Amino acid sequence: MSDKVTIHELFDKKGRGEPITMLTAYDYPTARLVDRSGIDMILVGDSLGMVIHGLPNTTRVTMDMMVMHCAAVARGASQAMLVGDLPFLSYQVSVEEAVRNAGRLVADGGMDAVKLEGGSEMVPIVEALQMAGIAVQGHIGLTPQSISKLGGFKTQGRSAEAARQLLDDALALEAAGCFSLVLEAMPDRVAGLISHKLSIPTIGIGAGVECDGQVLVTQDMLGLGMAPKFVRQYADAAEFINAALVAYRDDVLARTFPAKEHTYSMTDDEWEAFRASVNGARQEG
């Protein structure tokens, strides 16, 4: 593998049947840790609206927010392929706006690719981004930017008709030039069939093991965020961090922190010189 994960390497992994790994990061220190772990792709998702900014959903995330977080992640990661979400209404209004905003994530945010939500209706935008030289990851199934239209965070593709629409959308996005697709919150058999029908890699989140790869929100799998059905919690970081915070509070209250090893000091001569200067200033006053 080269120093930087590329689209070609992702395709090679799909061809070999080797799973692709993807996690989110929204800041410099998290990006460093995820990158160091050998994860293939880092997603700077618009989920940062909820995870970092405490917003009720992703629709309030702006381009300026995304560019800022993308740039921080890009400074922290050197090996993983970086994918930045195009936020709500940054690409749906017109093709021209889509190209301009996607270009910001690449040029100003340091992303290797952008991700957008939607099915066949996104084909003209994907084609335009391809013409502009911008790699695009699609996202179908549960699409959080359309949460009002979908009626909440619900599994998609349960009926035969809905599942067929997901397949048609996936094929259309592949033909338009997407290098991969995120499949979110759909029955595992539907996601598996889509994954086998496509030549491009699929990345599942709540879509079963037959996808070509998996993605989770890092805070969720560390116990710092939400716990939907599809999340496995790999650590209880919240409990660990809380214990450290309480220990700090107790040490400060007991005056056991800062201790001698955490304190800067002066020599006796420097101290006496300082005291003499203070006393002299008082006498002159």
Q: How far apart are CA 88 and CA 67, in angstroms?
A: 14
Q: How far apart are CA 141 and CA 157, in angstroms?
A: 7
Q: What is the DSSP letter of 142?
A: S
Three-state SS for 23? strand
Q: What is the DSSP letter of 206?
A: S
The DSSP bridge partners found for residue 24 are: 43
Q: At what angle do helices 28-36 and 63-76 cross, to 10 degrees?
A: 50
- Which of 207, 228, 208, 211 minimizes the C-alpha distance to 219? 228
Sort 62 into a burial class: Cβ within 10 Å, 0-12 / 13-18 / 19+: middle
Q: Can you point out the beta strands (E) in 186-243?
A: 202-205, 213-216
Catalytic residue among 184, 261, 270, 272: 184
Q: What are residue 227's phi and psi, to 5 degrees?
A: -135, 65
127: annotated active-site residue: no
- Which of 78, 26, 41 minimizes the C-alpha distance to 213? 41
Q: How far apart are CA 250 and CA 159, in angstroms?
A: 56
Active centre residues (catalytic):
184
